């Protein structure tokens, strides 16, 4: 099995990424998609030039989903993993993913667990399970691996109007995975750790209207216009305590009627 590690980064964040890239390994290619208008520093350029396993692309675009879609197009290994620039990966990453696909060769995509610094596993279970439209709602991009060729059967990949760096900056991951399921792909969760990530999260509380619209888009794009809107309404009522203000809660009700493409 060959593995492509698809990194998305932007601006000066590539400096820290360069310091924590995994060491060069057989059968592993690192693809870096760097959204920037800046010139690389001499130190970063020297590192990238010294590594035969790295493919670097500078992109004049904004939004992590655009970066990830570009990276998918550049990937040609058997399996790919979506990587963030602030994740630390273990030395045995390739072995963990390779063994998972050997043991589950009927699976088109596999998600894994990761450690949150200072918090441990936090949300992950210790038993394998098959993915469905409910389980994917809690999946983050850095948990996802998939067979590259299988993605050619999927009409659209990541929604480019969602995700970090976009106006609707949340929930792109479940929409992406739902498109895999709708295309007939099958996936599962394996309780194996593949990385460590800082504890910060943009999805903890409702802070603005765009965070609400993101969730509406997510539900409607996964479950359809009627069921999706009903699930959105149930969701905001269930999470009333997470709203930062009463006016924002009122806006969440108005969002219910928003048109979704």
What are the tens digits of pLDDT across the range 213-257?
Answer: 999 999 999 999 999 999 999 999 988 888 878 888 888 989 999
Q: Is the pTM of this model over 0.85?
A: yes
Residues 54 and 170 in one domain: yes
Q: Determine the Cα–Cα distance for residues 88 and 115; give it in Å rounded to an integer.
A: 10
Counted domains in the chain:
2
Q: Determine the Cα–Cα distance for residues 196 and 216; give it in Å rounded to an integer.
A: 30
Domain that holds residue 99: 3-197
pLDDT tens track for 158-187? 999 999 999 999 999 999 999 999 999 999
pLDDT tens track for 80-97? 999 999 999 999 999 999
Distances (CA, A) of 114 to 138, 163, 217: 13, 20, 26
Res 125: pLDDT: 86
Q: Does the pLDDT at position 202 exceed 70?
A: no
Residues 186 and 65 in one domain: yes
For the CA atoms of 124, 72, 151, 25, what is the dihedral angle to 10 degrees?
-70
Report, as an integer, the average pLDDT of 123-141. Answer: 93
To which residue do tokens 């057989």 refer?
26
Query: What is the CATH number for 70?
Result: 3.90.550.10
Lowest mean pLDDT among 50-54, 181-185, 257-261: 257-261
Residues 12 and 116 in one domain: yes
| Cβ atoms within 10 Å, residue 166 | 19
- Residues near 150 by beta carbon (within 8 Å), at least 6 away in sequence: 108, 109, 180, 185
Residues 100 and 225 in one domain: no
Q: Determine the Cα–Cα distance for residues 99 and 74; give it in Å rounded to an integer.
A: 24
Report, as an integer, the average pLDDT of 12-28. Answer: 93
């Amino acid at each position: 099995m060959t593995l492509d590690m698809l990194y998305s980064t932007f601006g000066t964040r590539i400096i820290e990424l360069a310091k924590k890239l995994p060491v060069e390994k057989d059968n592993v290619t690192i693809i870096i998609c760097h959204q920037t208008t800046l010139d690389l520093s001499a130190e970063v350029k020297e590192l990238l030039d010294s590594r035969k396993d790295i493919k670097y692309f500078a992109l004049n675009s904004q939004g992590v989903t655009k970066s990830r879609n570009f990276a998918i197009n550049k990937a040609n290994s058997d399996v790919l993993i979506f990587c963030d620039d602030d994740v630390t990966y273990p030395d045995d990453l390739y072995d963990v993913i390779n063994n998972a696909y050997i043991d589950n060769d009927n699976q088109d995509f596999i998600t894994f667990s990761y450690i949150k610094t200072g918090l441990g596993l936090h949300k992950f279970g210790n038993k394998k399970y098959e993915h469905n439209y409910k389980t994917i709602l809690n999946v983050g991009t850095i948990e996802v691996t998939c067979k590259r060729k299988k993605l050619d059967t999927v009409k659209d990949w990541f929604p480019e109007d969602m995700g970090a760096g976009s106006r609707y900056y949340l929930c792109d991951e479940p929409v992406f995975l739902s498109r895999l399921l709708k295309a007939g792909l099958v996936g599962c969760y394996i309780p194996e750790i593949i990385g460590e990530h800082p504890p910060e999260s943009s999805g903890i509380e409702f802070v603005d209207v765009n965070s609400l619209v993101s969730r509406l888009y997510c539900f409607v794009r996964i479950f359809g216009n009627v069921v999706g809107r009903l699930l959105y309404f149930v969701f905001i009522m269930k999470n009333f305590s997470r709203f930062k203000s009463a006016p924002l809660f009122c806006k969440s009700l108005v969002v219910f009627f928003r048109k979704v493409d």
